[in-house]
Amino acid sequence: MVKEGFKSGFVAIIGRPNVGKSTLLNRIVGEKIAIMSDKAQTTRNKIQGIYTTDDAQVVFIDTPGVHKPQNSLGDFMVKSAFSALHEADAIWFMVDASQERGRGDNFIIDRLKEVKSTPIYLIINKIDLLPKDQLFEVINSYQEDAPQWAEVFPISATEGDNVPELLDGVIDQLEEGPQYFDSDQLTDHPERFIISELIREKVLQLTQQEVPHSVAVVIDQIEQEEGDKVHIQASIIVERPTQKNIVIGKQGQMIKQIGIRARKDIERLLGSKVFLEAWVKVEPRWRDRPQALQSMGYRPEDY
């Protein structure tokens, strides 16, 4: 039953890699459900974040950054991003205020022109990195040869500037509808998925440029032990033995740090003490093998 006056809907967030989509989603829902890194193409799956108030529920779809695919995993990510446009009641196209409009932005804009009847908002992120007198120039650069924006919002996802106004703006435009998820639910992804993403985030953060995006994390087992302690076993998948050596580190120091940092986030997520065991395994060219992609959760039906 739909509560009178209650609004709900789905909002897709799309943009080039590293423009701040995951940062914005995490700020809105108040928890880390999408991993963050200074590397491009961090998000691989469509992450659904849920924002609920007494009067509305907005389900956000954080899509992988749109880029030129180099392998089957890249194809999955780009198709996944564009498929979200057909599921949404509104679209947030996010750009980086500190960078000039480029070919990647134009590629997305051309696809957005094909979208009919769905309102598209231009979200100009990272205004905290831009001198105020240059903001109008940035906005102007996205007005030419572009869809008719429903509204333009300059924001800082990191600092939170104008994010409440952005939320209010999209909720105002939503129609009355049902509450799809419980009020305290923040994502539709299972805990196992979030845990694997938190571990992968630490790998990306700690290895920096030494290990490219050939890393995946598979949760092999989660077991509740006595004394409210959770035992987690995880496999960190890489493509080459040299990458395995980097992830393990000298005398196991790198894998130890990955575990320490990941455990802190996982304990916050679960509200329990966590014992985390992680192994590093080599799966050559897993990003180009459909069977390997499916075993790691990247399913063709997802796009």
Is 19's pLDDT higher than 80? yes
80-137 tens-digit pLDDT: 555 667 778 999 999 999 999 998 899 889 888 888 888 999 999 999 999 989 999 9
What's the CA gap between 244 and 226, in Å, rounded? Answer: 33
The number of beta carbons lying within 10 Å of the beta carbon of residue 212 is: 14
pLDDT at 227: 72
User: What does each C-alpha distance from 101 to 19, 41, 107, 108, 139 come to in angstroms?
Assistant: 12, 18, 11, 11, 10
109-123 tens-digit pLDDT: 988 888 888 899 999
What's the CA gap between 293 and 296, in Å, rounded? Answer: 5
More confident residue, 36 or 157: 157
Q: Which residues contact 106 (CB under 8 A, 6 or more apart)?
A: 145
146-200 tens-digit pLDDT: 999 999 999 999 999 999 999 999 999 999 998 988 887 787 666 777 888 889 8
* Backbone dihedral region for residue 299 (phi beyond 0: left; psi -120 to 50: alpha; all else: beta): beta
pLDDT at 56: 94
pLDDT at 289: 66
The number of beta carbons lying within 10 Å of the beta carbon of residue 202 is: 24
More confident residue, 288 or 133: 133
* Token pair listed for 100: 């000039």
pLDDT at 132: 85
Mean pLDDT to the nearest integer, 187-215: 78
Q: Which residues contact 270 (CB under 8 A, 6 or more apart)?
A: 191, 230
User: Do residues 24 and 182 make contact, with C-beta atoms less than 8 angstroms apart?
Assistant: no
Is 301's pLDDT higher than 50? no
* Token pair listed for 25: 């989603």
What's the CA gap between 46 and 50, in Å, rounded? Answer: 13
pLDDT at 97: 94
User: Do residues 80 and 46 make contact, with C-beta atoms less than 8 angstroms apart?
Assistant: yes
SS (H, E, C) the chain: CCCCCCEEEEEEEEECCCCCHHHHHHHHHCCCCCCCCCCCCCCCCCEEEEEECCCEEEEEEECCCCCCCCCHHHHHHHHHHHHHHHCCCEEEEEEECCCCCCHHHHHHHHHHCCCCCCCEEEEEECHHHCCHHHHHHHHHHCCCCCCCCCEEEECECCCCECHHHHHHHHHHHCCECCCCCCCCCCECCCHHHHHHHHHHHHHHHHHHHHCCCCCEEEEEEEEEECCCEEEEEEEEEECCHHHHHHHHCHHHHHHHHHHHHHHHHHHHHHCCEEEEEEEEEECCCHHHCHHHHHHCCCCHHHC
Q: Which amino acid is at 291?
A: Q
Q: Which amino acid is at 201?
A: E
pLDDT at 201: 84
